[in-house]
A and B are shown apart, each in its own frame.
Chain A
């Protein structure tokens, strides 16, 4: 694909994007920036506004506030020219149960007036081949398993070369084998220059295939950045217990750390705790202790907590099975 069609810049960019349903705010003023060529993991618990955001990006629903630019063009004004370059899987696959898999793809391809007719059959065949469904091409979708429908949905997104792929929970309903196939498919597409925007509530999946991550919680975008940035923000958190809180804070600041009182003051004698997360660079824990001792800080307890991305995710989105309203 040539990239002369739109001005350079992020593949997806939103500015204060909001969507309200009555009084409920489903998407609350989010500023997404999805760099071109990235594999962007859009994380969040169920009901956090991921799918609504995707509907807004694709012009299926209209925003109640803010702006959207996809591939450099304003949405919804530029939808007609943007959408042919976007392949999408939105909120699970949906097909005509009384048509075969191949007939379903031909139907959706025919819906796009720019899709060349003479190559239609070949492109459908190729897309089915790519997701491993060639053997079931002539079977009615009614007889497909959930995983096969999911594959067919991905095949639909791949009917034409796309600049941007928007995949909403692409591994839903797939067995481990299928999940691995989707991951390697996404990687190969990204290697070919396609920007992939993939939503998921599965951290492991995002960790394994994404270069960038955005985290949604209750309609808000609570974190966004490269995978490494987000991990760094969550790792190497030290916990310090000391009666000399003020002195310790000075030492930690001198090391370039940002101490924040963890708050638990257990009486005057016990002093308090300090926790800190080193932004960007990492100071070795033993150096921190040495510096503290050298400064005469009495250390009662010292620990390093290696927070995983999962802990970071939970800390951002809250714990438990409550579905965000």
Chain B
């Protein structure tokens, strides 16, 4: 309703170019954000460490005597018969600590890292826009979640194919699927775990808006992920379990049935969505009112 008098002017402040330039401008910042993330040595070191997990598992199994069924992580005993289980085992092993650790580093660094470098003030003066910057930071962290899980799954598949025979896979439901479909299932599990990590990434982003010291935000995020998993194992806290963001982290077995049961995928996505909204609201409240003094 209220007319903006300067809107008629042809100057650079006229809203017309703002409206048209906005969307492609945000893609440019997103591309820049991803390039900063993936040009860091640290990011590649973390991905390499994650890739080492399936390689280590495959090598160890290859070099040792056959694993008796029922010992070690689930699927471990099946690897020597079918290499396609390497990726699944590696994902299972990485969920409790390795993946949350890397996600904690990336998410905890989002705002605090820029504040620590001093680049935050230059991004805001550019101007990036506080809400826009927050959204793009989160989107980049989410891309990392997916990259990290897919890295484990993909390297696992390669290591499995290289070191072991590959054949049809018997699912938990007793059905058998061929190798191609089992790779698809691996990717599905990777996607499930990536979704699982989105809540943690949002928590890391929120913590990151409270400090100028990235290591502090990273540590706090990782500690929270451990606390959540410990609480999830205490029977005394059973009432709390369905609300913990790590509650469905290991419930991807449903994706190994025929037909696929999407129940846990949906419940997990809903829970993570709740955490994204809550942590996002905290991050928004804090970051839009924050004095940037670094």
Residues in chain A within 8 A of chain B (CB atoms): 1-6, 55, 58-62, 73, 79-86, 88, 90-99, 106-117, 156
Contacts and interface: CB of A to CB of B under 8 A. Distances in A.
A99 B39 contact: yes
B11 A94 contact: no
Given A4-B11, A94-B118, A60 B39 contact: no
A109 B28 CA distance: 10
Contacts of A111: 29, 32, 122-123, 126-128, 133
Contacts of A156: 122
Interface of B: 6, 9-14, 17-18, 21-22, 24-26, 28-29, 31-32, 35-36, 39-41, 117-119, 121-129, 132-133, 289, 291-293
B117 A96 contact: yes
Consensus secondary structure, chain B interface: helix
Contacts of A90: 121-122, 125
Nearest to B128: A111
Nearest to B41: A98
B127 A62 contact: no
Consensus secondary structure, chain A interface: loop
A6 B77 CA distance: 73
A112 B6 contact: no
Nearest to A113: B25
A106 B39 contact: no
A11 B39 CA distance: 39
A73 B126 CA distance: 17
Nearest to A104: B119
A59 to B, nearest CB: 7
A106 B32 contact: yes
A113 B291 contact: no
B125 A60 contact: yes
A61 B291 CA distance: 4
A113 B19 CA distance: 10
A95 B119 contact: yes
Given A5-B12, A80-B129, A83-B125, A60 B292 contact: yes
Contact of B291 (A60, A93, A99): A60
A11 to B, nearest CB: 14
Contacts of B18: 80-81, 113-114
